Amino acid sequence: MVLAILIIYVISVVGIGIYCSKKSSTVNDYVLGGRSVGPWLTAFAYGTSYFSAVIFVGYAGKFGWNFGLASTWIGIGNSIIGSLMAWVILGRRTRIMSKHLESATMPEFFEKRFNSKAMKIISALIVFIFLIPYTASVYNGLSRLFGMAFNVDYSVCVIGMAVITAVYVVIGGYKATAINDFVQGIIMLIGIVAVVCATLASKGGFMEAVNQLSHISTENTHSPDLNGGFASFFGPDPINLLGVIILTSLGTWGLPQMVHKFYTIKDEKSIKTGTIVSTVFALVVAGGSYFLGGFGRIFVTDEEFAQIGSDGIIPKMLESLPELLIGIVVVLVLSASMSTLSSLVLTSSSTLTLDLIKPLMKDKLKDEKKSLIIMRVFVAIFLIVSVIIALNKNALISDLMGYSWGALAGAFLAPFMYGLFWRKVSKASVYTSFVIGIGATVAHMIIKPTGTFLGFDIASPVNLGMFTMIAGLILVPIVSLITPKMKKEELDDIFSCYNQTANVEVTQAIGDTDKLK
């Protein structure tokens, strides 16, 4: 039954890719869906790109083990900060300015917002390099679950997933990705509710599961109470919990594959609807995943944890579920992973083609068909490179994602957000943010520091990412105030998109106009 469900799902995904191939005849169609994607598709594309096997298997398992039920706060933070506030603060302005500047990627936005071709090249390289470990973490999480359900070799899972994703992304582009994201999102919503209910029922229900969790000792944690910490409101380690919330929530504001969704919004109404839909989606999927992970310690003993590690907790919890539910879980995680993976490869390949290859080849890539061919080739190349990295299955999912998000959000979040709102952001401040995000991440990977800072574990790539984002948000305005600004004429043109006026006829001229005389 599990295999049958999986086969039906794969056929539908590939079918959507073939259907959308006829609607992706230009670069604009392929990368942005013609900037005409409706609110529900955009909202689901945002949510499914946000949450993947990395969340469900890696982060839910690790942080559920570390923080207990308090890990649910991560999902709440993802819905409020990572979805609601991101749409409200960035959605409309990103759509308007990116259309005005005719930018299809984040590096292209940096080039035209700050009038710097060098900035586009540097940011494009950052995107391509640091999206690869995130992609590898997606493969890693899914393959572990497939191993549990089908006892299939890890490498076979990785390669199979890459091939299926390549088929519908290469053929259909963003439109196929968005439609598939909608279907995959529905599966994720239904699946996570069913899995949480069934898993807790196997332990006697919610109250009994909480009772069992409250009796587990929090010795060797930051909790002052030896018992009850894993079932408490803020958990045994609220300081490091805060670090995870900030990285996984605020980090989305600076991730190119997430911001890209705002480029494709159809109209004003789509923004309002998309805000609500994506927030509810995040609350159910992320909140449900972390809530489920919070009960990990009543399913996995310390001895088992030493053998399987944090990435094996969720698969272990699901082993005893009925076959039908295991099938739902497999399709749930496959849906989440493929939607994220398709978003990553599309973002990376479009960035490499439009921001690096096309400028170098100049006149040779003016033809739309040639540009599309090159872009599709790089989809395949990106997938191959990420597969090679993913085949090193010893890398922790949370570490891979932490380094990727830390580098990208640390480099891009501050200059992108300030660049949408503030005219005085200088080129020097943007480069400062790039150096902080990438420099700190690379240094951390090499040095592998230990110890704590202000109560935060500095060995954690997650906390590193939090620090790089905060540093960028503080330093970009400071550096901007003491370094040369862009020319007023350039800024007037860039920000003119927010000041458009329209002349309309007066339709009610009796009564109100008399009072003005």
Domain range annotation of the chain = 2-398
Q: Residue 27 above 60 pLDDT?
A: no
- Tokens matching residue 209: 């599961």
The H or E element spanning position 453 is strand 452-453
- Residue 409 exposure: Cα atoms within 13 Å on the Cβ side: 28
Range of weakest confidence among 77-86, 251-260, 317-326: 317-326
Q: Residue 517 above 70 pLDDT?
A: no
Query: Mean per-residue pLDDT for 115-130?
Result: 86
CATH superfamily of 2-398: Sodium/glucose cotransporter (1.20.1730.10)
Residue 52 near residue 339, CB atoms below 8 Å? yes
Query: Mean per-residue pLDDT for 188-211?
Result: 86
Check residue 261 and give its pLDDT.
80
Query: Mean per-residue pLDDT for 384-404?
Result: 69
Question: Higher-confidence residue: 403 or 439?
Answer: 439
Count other C-beta atoms under 10 Å from residue 477's C-beta: 15
Check residue 330 and give its pLDDT.
72
Tell me the percentage of the chain whose pLDDT exceeds 70: 73
Query: Mean per-residue pLDDT for 495-507?
Result: 67
Mean pLDDT rounded to a whole number for the chain: 78
Check residue 84 and give its pLDDT.
93
Residues 6+ apart with CB under 8 A from 501: none
Check residue 460 and give its pLDDT.
85
Check residue 480 and give its pLDDT.
95
Query: Mean per-residue pLDDT for 138-164?
Result: 69
Which pTM was predicted?
0.80
Check residue 26 and give its pLDDT.
55
Q: For residues 237 and 68, what is the distance between their CA atoms, to the nearest angstrom?
A: 10
Check residue 259 and give its pLDDT.
85
Q: Can you say whether residue 68 is alpha, beta or left, with left for phi > 0 and alpha for psi between -120 and 50 degrees?
A: left
Query: Mean per-residue pLDDT for 26-30?
Result: 55
Q: Residue 55 above 60 pLDDT?
A: yes
Q: Residue 267 above 70 pLDDT?
A: yes
Q: Residue 310 above 70 pLDDT?
A: yes
CA atoms 446, 450, 454, 460: torsion sign = positive
